[in-house]
Amino acid sequence: ELIKAFMDSIPIGRPGQAEDVANLVMFLLSPEGSYIAGSTLFIDGAHDAMMRPDASM
């Protein structure tokens, strides 16, 4: 039940994987990510976005 409750709390519907972090790092190191500076990027399956007061889905 605890695992099901945890899984149900993830808006994207799956737990994060190491590859999710690696993909963001690779993007930030690429030319496409060169204009991003001083930002906080969350890799949390949209959990942070859903916790904001103005979030709606």
Domain of 26 in residue numbering reads as 2-51
Q: Which residues contact 43 (CB under 8 A, 6 or more apart)?
A: 16, 20, 21, 24
Whole-number pLDDT of residue 10: 87
CATH code of the domain in which 33 resides: 1.10.8
Note whether residue 33 is domain-resident: yes
For the chain, the straight-line distance linking the first and the last C-alpha, in angstroms and rounded, comes to 25
Cα separation, 1 vs 3, in Å, equals 5
Note whether residue 25 is domain-resident: yes
Whole-number pLDDT of residue 23: 97
Which of 39, 20, 55 has its CA nearest to residue 11? 55
Structurally, the chain folds into a number of domains equal to 1
Q: For each successive 10 residues of the chain (57 residues), what is the average pLDDT?
A: 87 91 96 93 86 66
pTM: 0.68
